[in-house]
Structure formats: structure tokens, C-alpha cells
Amino acid sequence: MIYDNIQPLSEKHAKWSVGVDNHEFLTHLNSVPVLATEIVFAASEFPIIFSATGNEGEYLPLVVMGLKDGQNLLLNDKNVLSTRYVPAFVRRYPFVLGGSNDSEMMALCMDEDSKFFSHDGSKGARLFQDDGSHSDFLKEVVEFLRDYQYRADMTRVFTKKLHELDLLEPMSANISFKDKSEANINLGGFFVVKREKLKVIGDADAFDLFKKDSLELIYAHLHSLSNFNRLIDIMSAKLAAE
């Protein structure tokens, strides 16, 4: 989604440094993945939906940032997210762990083409110290990515449970803008938790969701859907300015 040239970290990056000072890499995205443990924090600012991954019974939680493909309504004039909360998927850029999820070893990788890297170490934090050992900054990156991977596994368990309980259903919406009929939008292709289905699950399943904090995540997701109004207001203002 945001990586152009993923390469493993190696000795050739010994002098490199990195400093991410904006989110320009999100300009073409109207949504990004969010971890289950982030839903409560992100729900106050983003609409949170679920997208089918293509694998049977697997879904990915997403925070929505735009109302149509290639649109991001939440970047300010400096290409920085205007939200107080920034999803971990965004914060980990330009780094990522490479390798399959079932592999015991996963390599630390990076988007080698990212403009945020300085090849001579003149910008941001160094990746390596002069003796070739990992810098404190890079050690923090590794720990962050390990934690991200652990929480991504938790997210898969959460969404799988939603599927098993048949709580997700497709949703679509038609958005009209006054005096701008050419800008009308049809939203679709995503899933939300159906309140009516949640109300009829068995007591044992409801208690299990409660004990695992999944119930809190579900209600945070449901409340987050009102944030579509914020995106509509932002787009309306943009259309009016045009």
C-alpha cells in the first residue's frame, strides 16, 4: 500500500539515517489497516470498517480517511494527518518485518526508496552506530515491529471470531452533495457489525466477547461509524471552496 521497494536492512545502510516529518505517502489512500487494540483509540476520529481479505473468513479492520479511491481528506496543508491518533500502520513506515507469518525468523526490512532516508546520515536518526551496532533508535523500531506483529495476530483472532458468530454484514451508502450532483458518491464493498445480530448471540458467546474485551471493540467500531459525517463535512467544504 505504501511501500515501493522493500529491502532487508544490511551493511550498505551503515551510514543511513531516517526522519519522517510528514505523511505524504498517504495521499493516495482512503483507508489504512488498524490493529484491534487500536480500535478504541482510533474510533473517536476515524470511521472503522472491515474489509474481506480474500481468504475465507478473514477480515481486516480499516480506518477510513476518504470517501472515494485515491482521496485522503485528513491530511493538512503540510501533508500531516490532522488527527490526534495516528495508526501504527502509519507510524511504522518506512520499516516493516519481512517473511511469512509462520516463519520463525522475520527480517527487518525497509522501503529503500523512501524519501525520508538520508544516505549520509545528515537527516533524522541514525540506523547504526559508528561501530556497526544497532542504534538505540533502530532497537526501538525492532521492538515496535515485533509488538505490531503480535497485535496483528490478535487482530486476526478477533475478526475470525466476528466471522464465526456471523456478526459482519455488507454495508453500502449513497452520499449526495447539495448542488454538486457530479460529486455524489456510492460507498460499498465493506462490512460492519450488525447490531441486530449482536443482540441474538448466545449468553456464552456474549460473555466470552466481554471477557476478552472484544465487546468493547465492537461497540467502539459501531460508534465510530458516525465519523463518516466528519468526512462528508470536510468534502462538502472542499467542494464549496472549488
Q: What is the mean pLDDT of residues 98-105?
A: 60
| Per-state percent for the chain, helix, strand, coil, to nearest 5 | 40, 20, 40
User: Distances from the Cα of 189 to the Cαs of 68, 151, 159, 186, 238, in angstroms?
Assistant: 12, 25, 17, 10, 25
Euclidean distance between CA atoms 18 and 125, whole angstroms: 5
End-to-end CA distance of the chain: 29
| Type of residue at 14 | A
Is-contact 62 190, C-beta < 8 A? yes
| 43 to 61, 65, 119, 171: CA distances (angstroms) | 11, 12, 38, 18
Query: Taking 60 as the threshold, does the pLDDT of residue 77 lie above it?
Result: yes
Interatomic CA distance for residues 136 and 144, integer angstroms = 12
Query: How confident is the model over 117-149, as pLDDT tens digits?
Result: 999 988 999 999 999 999 999 999 999 999 999
Q: Is the pLDDT of residue 115 over 70?
A: yes
Cell digits for 133?
Answer: 551496532
Mean per-residue pLDDT of the chain: 92
Q: Lowest mean pLDDT: which of 45-49, 60-64, 100-104, 110-114? A: 100-104
- Specify whether the CB–CB gap between 46 and 224 falls below 8 A: yes
pLDDT in tens, 15-68: 999 999 999 999 999 999 999 999 999 999 999 999 999 888 899 999 999 999
Which triple of cell numbers denotes residue 7? 529491502
- Helix (H) or strand (E) holding 95, with range, is strand 95-98
CA dist 87 and 97 (Å) reads 17
Give me the pLDDT at residue 24, please: 96
Long-range contact pairs involving 38-42 (C-beta distance under 8 Å, separation at least 24): 38/85, 38/87, 38/88, 39/217, 39/220, 39/221, 39/224, 40/216, 40/217, 40/220, 41/85, 42/85, 42/87, 42/224
- Measured in residues, the chain has a length of 242
pTM: 0.91
- Amino acid occupying residue 239: L
Average pLDDT over residues 210-221: 96
Q: Is the peptide bond before 61 cis (omega within 30 degrees of 0)?
A: no
Predicted confidence band of residue 103 (pLDDT cuts 50, 70, 90): very low
CA pseudo-torsion sign 123, 127, 130, 135: positive
